[in-house]
Amino acid sequence: MVMTHRLHKLKTTEDLTEDLTEDFKAIYSKTSEDPED
């Protein structure tokens, strides 16, 4: 959301990529632990 971004300093592309990678790892780990999902 644009409003949310205005509340924070703009992150560099590297920071954003790092955040997305962490999110992906967390989601992937959760999925791996629960094959039924």
pLDDT tens digits along 17-36:
898 899 999 988 888 776 66
Q: What is the pLDDT of residue 37?
A: 53
1's CB contacts (< 8 A; 6+ apart) are none
Better pLDDT: 25 or 7: 25
Residue range of the domain that includes 6: 2-33
Give yes or no for residue 12 having a pLDDT over 70: yes
Q: What is the pLDDT of residue 15?
A: 84
Q: What is the pLDDT of residue 22?
A: 92
The runs of H, that is alpha helices, within the chain are: 2-7, 13-33
- If one counts the domains in the chain, the total is 1
CA angle 17, 21, 6 (to 5 degrees): 45
In this prediction, residue 3 has a pLDDT band, given cuts at 50, 70 and 90, of low
Q: Please give the model's pTM, rounded to 2 decimal places.
A: 0.43
